[in-house]
Chain A
């Protein structure tokens, strides 16, 4: 079959990324031709600043060498500017007469620097700052000349000025605004930035209007004249007063342009559906983006559409800003200026060079401006995108995510100051050097890509800020600026909440119904969505929806916890952490009989038998004869207790009994994530109730109830919810809170994250104020748990597939030369039990 022809005009980052995405999913659909006006293959334009500053070389910033184009069969026309699109004959024509026919055309012409319309703008030595030529011109000028003037105190201008200064020039930044980077910083941060750059040797002319550029007799610029007549010397003038989408070609072809080539959510031009536009030249919903993450998102959607899959849509991005000047950390996002109807939290320490401003409106973070310490930028950006209520963390907000007890990266908060051998990600043991190497060698740009390739920040996520800083310095990538709504997984574009709502509102009780009603993209989901869907079904429709064991993670399918070597651990339930000599004897006997290698007491006061072979699980359960501890499940795990008033001379309440009662009432309760309770008999709190999902603390007059604590990655102290008088009340309130969490929590969301998402006020309203509602929730939970089986003993009822515990067949020792008689003769399906496979 004849291939279709795809022509791309422009050879920059957004366009080539689109081709890469296209080749990944549909490598043989098109003959591809690329026109690039520059004589270079695709390079990382963001890194021109470090090149100018002498921190990287041009070779290092090439993203796709010429060999890449060859290997992918792409016809590449370098140094050829396309001047005409003939939409009738469907071909493009370059200035030198080269022509190419297209079935699909991709315009990725980027943007041009805005050149101030002042006299002298065409003199030699007056340039924009956009490409390799400009960069080389600057590097060369720095060897010959002394005085440089940069017009524009924005991101690009300051990076240019910094680079030229490092190359030995005396640089003056001329800025029309009252402070630097006024589109990204407020006056305070802008002023701190100016001082810092001034101390490094840059000069500034703030609020200055450039009137003309003065040339010498050879036609080269020699001075800049301001309004009022003052002149300063200038052998090189860099115009960095903004960029304009490069739409000249598109306009000449009659394509509708308004602040860029106007495109739809599938990146097709509104005028001609055969023609697509991505990158800085494209205007999507009125915005032409200039940052790499949104452009790559566009590329992905565009490629998807070009490949005729047509399932993706680009919905716009929120962006944030960082400056690539080594040693200066600044970050801003959202409405950082504030104003009417907003509140500000400000932390300012000019001596230490730190300034932070958070802008809050209607109990949501709407803007942030950070100078000097930006490690929490990503966290603020996340809060901002999610638009979540912040009342409950408002007092801690300014101190950042890392001050709520981050662990796992040695307290580092400035990536630049770390050595290559320092560990960035404590979960996965990834060093700074490894992250930087992967970013450089694999050409990574976004947080997601780094996570995929290196696993850094892919587990607990507490080092996300660090990884983003590394991305910033190494690739110049910005934050992955995903739309506010986060899809559940690659199988759908719906969020957890939307899926939950649909399951409830439309009374869906089967996985297949979900796939069909919600137009799942895959026939049977994936390992991410299926366990979540299964949970949503059974928690929304207890006794109606049927549990699907194949949609559960192995631990919940085999009712034991898989270990690194494929063996399992067994944790029998001990109500409230209390046991007996008889139980201990049975455990000891089982340990001997099944040669269980490790016996350990867990953090939740239970006994853990580690290294049990899968074949032995059923026998171990039976021999021990204790209920399942659910230590493997997203369910109620343990209720930790202190000895309480029965024995303790300090105890005020019978915490052990309370713990046993709670555990008996709520065990077998599946939840969005694991759940741990603790009950202490007095405020000395020996059961550590302050870091549990529900913590109960006995006081002389009754019980205090705390919720949504967490002892994990971010140690989070539980919130005080209510003081109760009786044990019955403790039961009802705890059960009601659990049922609320079971109904509203997203899969794999611990109570701490659930409560921080919906807000403590919401929980208080539902549990404390709405008395009928609370009772109803508790009743619902009891209904759901009534008759739930113990999966260690009631296999059929719990849908435990007992076939899984033994191999389906055991192949005897190789016979060497099998006789022809036995060949094909069947079924040496020996019962496997005596053979004992490895697990």
Chain B
């Protein structure tokens, strides 16, 4: 049985915007809200160079990665052609305006990928 865990209210996420869910390990999970109030969740990690998708511009059913403007479909995490790649998708349930994620997916999906941390930040213990 799926163990749904509530993370926030739909209204906590701006329309055409996003919020992040932090996990103890692994990259965060990005929540997106479309213009018609559908909620999608993706691993917060672009398949291109691991940019944080939660920081991108949301339009239609897609988000543009803030680093190099790859466009990622919110429904399936696939990069728009001709770019190739896919970012993991999390199941989302919305009940009474509350956003729920699957506990097991949160514990497992992409959990071993390094959090987005290249560059100078590795110089200090974060």
Contact = CB atoms under 8 A, between A and B. Distances in A.
Contacts of A835: 22, 24
A527 B55 contact: no
B32 to A, nearest CB: 11
A823 B104 CA distance: 11
A66 B50 CA distance: 39
A358 B67 CA distance: 41
A807 B19 CA distance: 7
A550 interface: yes
Contact of B119 (A524, A558, A565): A565
A295 B3 CA distance: 56
A27 B16 CA distance: 30
Interface in A545-587: 549-551, 553-554, 557-558, 562-567
Say what secondary structure dominates the interface of chain A. Answer: loop
B59 A526 contact: yes
A524 B16 contact: yes
A824 B20 contact: no
B15 A550 contact: yes
B57 A551 contact: yes
A818 B3 contact: yes
Contacts of B14: 549-550, 801, 803
A764 interface: no
Given A526-B60, A562-B55, A566-B117, A808 B24 contact: no
Bin the interface of chain B by size. 35 or more
B106 interface: yes
B1 A823 contact: yes
Interface stretch (A416-424, A749-757, A825-833): A825-833
A523 B82 contact: no
A835 B21 CA distance: 11
B55 to A, nearest CB: 4
A762 interface: no
A526 B17 contact: no
Contact of A828 (B5, B60, B66): B5
Contacts of A453: 82
Interface in B109-124: 115-121, 123-124
B51 interface: yes
Which residue among B20, B31, B51, B58 has the maximum number of chain A CB atoms within 10 Å of its CB?
A: B20
A808 B106 CA distance: 14
B21 A811 contact: yes
Contacts of B52: 562, 566, 839
A523 B61 CA distance: 10
Contacts of B50: 566
A553 B66 contact: yes
Given A595-B124, A611-B121, A810 B22 contact: yes
B20 to A, nearest CB: 4
Nearest to B19: A808
Bin the interface of chain A by size. 35 or more
Given A453-B82, A829-B7, A807 B21 contact: yes
Contacts of B51: 566
A809 B24 contact: no
A617 to B, nearest CB: 12
A811 B69 CA distance: 29
Contacts of A828: 5
B74 interface: no
A804 interface: yes
Contacts of A523: 35, 60
B119 A838 contact: no
B79 interface: no
B66 A813 contact: no
Contacts of B87: none
Given A566-B52, A808-B8, A839 B116 contact: yes
Nearest to B46: A566
Given A550-B57, A610-B120, A807-B22, A526 B8 contact: no
A563 B51 CA distance: 9
A838 B19 contact: no
A564 B66 CA distance: 9
A738 B33 CA distance: 37
Contacts of B12: 803, 808
Contacts of A558: 55
B123 A524 contact: no
Nearest to A452: B82
Contacts of A836: 126
A827 B6 contact: yes
Given A523-B60, A549-B14, 19 more contacts: A522-B60, A550-B14, A550-B15, A553-B66, A554-B55, A562-B66, A563-B119, A564-B118, A611-B119, A801-B14, A807-B19, A807-B21, A807-B22, A808-B13, A810-B24, A824-B3, A826-B5, A838-B27, A839-B117
Interface of A: 442, 452-453, 522-527, 530-531, 549-551, 553-554, 557-558, 562-567, 595, 597-598, 610-611, 613, 801, 803-804, 807-814, 818, 823-824, 826-829, 832, 835-839
Which 6 pairs between the two chains have the least Cβ-Cβ distance? A527-B64, A838-B115, A837-B22, A807-B22, A808-B19, A814-B107
27 contacts: A452-B82, A523-B60, A525-B59, A530-B57, A550-B15, A550-B58, A551-B16, A553-B57, A554-B55, A554-B56, A558-B55, A562-B52, A564-B119, A565-B119, A566-B52, A597-B124, A598-B123, A611-B123, A613-B121, A801-B14, A801-B17, A803-B14, A804-B17, A804-B19, A808-B20, A809-B8, A838-B116
